[in-house]
Structure 1
Amino acid sequence: MTSMMRREIAEQPEALRATLRALLPRRDEVRALGGSARQVLFIARGTSDNAAVYGRYLLEAYAGRPAALAAPSVATVYRRRMDLDGVLAVALSQSGRTEEIVETLAWAKDCGARTVAITNGGPESPLAQAADLALCTEAGEEKAVPATKTYTTQLAALAVLALALGAEVDAADLERAPDAVAALLDDPGDLDAVVDGLAGVAGAVVSGRGMAFSTALELALKLKEACYLHAMGLSYADLLHGPIAVVDSGTPAILVAAGSGPTLPGTVALAERVRSAGAAAYGVGGDEALAAACTARLNGPDLPEWVAPIGLIVPGQLVTEALARRLGIDPDSPRGLRKVTQTD
């Protein structure tokens, strides 16, 4: 029987097409609201926080705008005011109903920020209602607890945000993303080999850098949520500063990279180092050099680095769903989790 998670993974090309149809025409609205912002502040938790990491790298590397991830507890626990005049605060929540995120966005507005919501919860959701401008994704209802299509459509919304704020990229690359995801669904690469390798271990390191860092964090989270694997998501720069010691024959590394870009050579070198230490290295994306350096490799999207994360996560989602079933876990309803998580 096909899981809901697997069905929702397959729905991503159409969810992305619908989201881009809805949001690309709204670039002028975003520009009018946030075009003069001196900084962008992202407000999120969980999977949405991983999406925000992509937004931060995208804005800083391609739009030249400083960006940061907020600490919601400053607003909701410490209840401290900050000078956010000239800041564009962007809150992400799949449901639009996480009270902490809604409260933090309202706090940011009260502190002087202009505010944007990115949510699949629709324009009537509390988060959308709290924002000056709501960018509502068009993923449709997501029933499986592990987020898949709501995550990739958040990335698409962040790419639209970056275009509106001056990212020096080609919007046509973004419009190709749904077809690139469909191609990965048809041919994800060495899926069985990666599942086989992960089925016999208790933990793994998932690493990427730059634009791919968000994918490493999100894949590690999915493996923890749905497969109960002790997966650690790290930038490979941080990995090399000590945690590389945990990589051994019982702890493989999953290494994520776009097919081009400045972080690819370092990812290849890391794969070679992992293999030389007697550990398995599983690649996600990259080029033929990464494939040659790895034990097995999942395909990446035919997209440039700036938009590649929308596709890079998809083979990882497929691995997560297949591994959960291999381990006898229901990927739709992992233990201890609910679709909407409330924190203080």
Structure 2
Amino acid sequence: MSSTTSRMRAEIGEQPEALRRTIGALLPRVAEIGALAGGTRQVLFIARGSSDNAAVYGRYLVESRAGRLGTLAAPSIATAYRRDLDLSGVLAVAISQSGKTEEIVETLDWAARCGARTVAVTNGAGSPLAEAAEVALVTDAGEELAVPATKTYTTQLAALAVLALGLGADADPADLLRVPDEVGRLIALTEASEQLPAIVEELAEVQGTVVSGRGIAFGTALELALKIKEACYLHAMGLSYADLLHGPIAVVDDRTPALLVAADSGPTLPGTIALARRVRGAGARAYGVGGGTGLAEACSRALPGPALPEWVAPLGLIVPGQLLVEALARRLGADPDVPRGLNKVTQTD
């Protein structure tokens, strides 16, 4: 494995400060979010790519902690089918790293015309998306040069945690303030672990993997699977472990390992541990990310997770996965900064 530091690795290391700036800027706006959301009862998330995986976290967060129904939008209803819906009582939250993806801007405009209140989550201050929203939660990640989103993704999660607090989430804001230092600790802990290079070497010998989590960790599983595909060019299937057990578990074997992600606490942790045992019982390798000692002991190998409450754990949980992907891409001879066929801003219709 080359020792050359990639831009992606440098930006992974910038996340503690990016999170500190973002949380510091957005946490004082909780009351503003609450005022905008007054009278709404449902949250509609509009996103694509990594931002869509952030939206999955947002959905589970507002449903499990704020007691509001959260749904993921199908932008084609607005942009292709051009069908108006009654969105009165809806808070539409559009998420885009650049704020320049035309489909996302158009869908947020459509939501407003249909009666929704609107919020943007973007790293692009002054971007078309920020200008289109009633409230713009602008993250402070700084410029991100590597194509795979790292610090823009985790700061999006921070913005969504603040959004949930504005919607009345049953959660302690002090937990969010702990995140930057914990992410810094986790980067150092992961890189010092003997498990990271060992997992990289073993994954370099396979054609694909299954990545699974559930509940608040599900978005992390989807994001890790996306990163493996886009930076390492391996087949990676991101699934809730409930869906995995309904049939796709058959693809897990001695040539297709499973990556399992979980917070160190919460109602989905026992099921993740049980899945790890089942995977190993079938003769396959199970790699854990997070999940405390319980998941680590059930897995073939494991990377540490953040010492954070479940509701903010995904802000740290993706970080060992980012480090794994960056190292694996270099081990496979790929440039993690510029995956083939991808650009920083993707336009869709």
Give TM class, smaller chain: over 0.9
1:26-51, Cα deviation, whole Å (9 max, x unpaired): 11111110132110000000000000
2:102 is the alignment partner of 1:99: yes
Question: Scaled by the length of structure 2, what TM-score is found?
Answer: 0.98
- Name stretches of at least 5 consecutive residues in structure 1 with no aligned partner: none
State the 4+ residue runs in structure 1 displaced beyond 3 angstroms: none
Distance between the aligned counterparts of 2:52 and 2:80, measured in 1?
Answer: 19
Match of 2:116 in 1: 113
2:293 is the alignment partner of 1:288: yes
From 317, 320, 323, the equivalent of 2:325 is 320
Match of 2:53 in 1: 50
2:302 is the alignment partner of 1:306: no
Match of 1:71 in 2: 74
Listed as ranges, the matches of 1:219-234 within 5 Å are 219-234=224-239
From 264, 269, 279, the equivalent of 1:274 is 279
Question: Scaled by the length of structure 1, what TM-score is found?
Answer: 0.99
From 190, 196, 202, the equivalent of 1:197 is 202
Distance between the aligned counterparts of 2:259 and 2:9, measured in 1?
Answer: 21
- Name stretches of at least 5 consecutive residues in structure 2 with no aligned partner: none
Match of 2:23 in 1: 20
Match of 1:38 in 2: 41
SS at match of 2:312: coil
Match of 1:165 in 2: 167
SS at match of 2:306: coil
Distance between the aligned counterparts of 2:60 and 2:90, measured in 1?
Answer: 17
1:54-73, Cα deviation, whole Å (9 max, x unpaired): 00000000110001000000
2:88 is the alignment partner of 1:85: yes
Distance between the aligned counterparts of 1:134 and 1:13, measured in 2?
Answer: 22
SS at match of 2:347: coil
Distance between the aligned counterparts of 1:332 and 1:48, measured in 2?
Answer: 18
Amino-acid identity (%): 74
2:267 is the alignment partner of 1:262: yes
The size of the alignment, in residue pairs, is: 343
Instruction: For residue 196 of structure 1, report the CA deviation from its aligned partner.
Output: 1.3
Distance between the aligned counterparts of 1:194 and 1:306, measured in 2?
Answer: 27
Match of 1:178 in 2: 180
Distance between the aligned counterparts of 1:288 and 1:2, measured in 2?
Answer: 31
1:197-255, Cα deviation, whole Å (9 max, x unpaired): 21100000000000100000000000000000100000000000000000000000000
Instruction: For residue 288 of structure 1, report the CA deviation from its aligned partner.
Output: 1.1
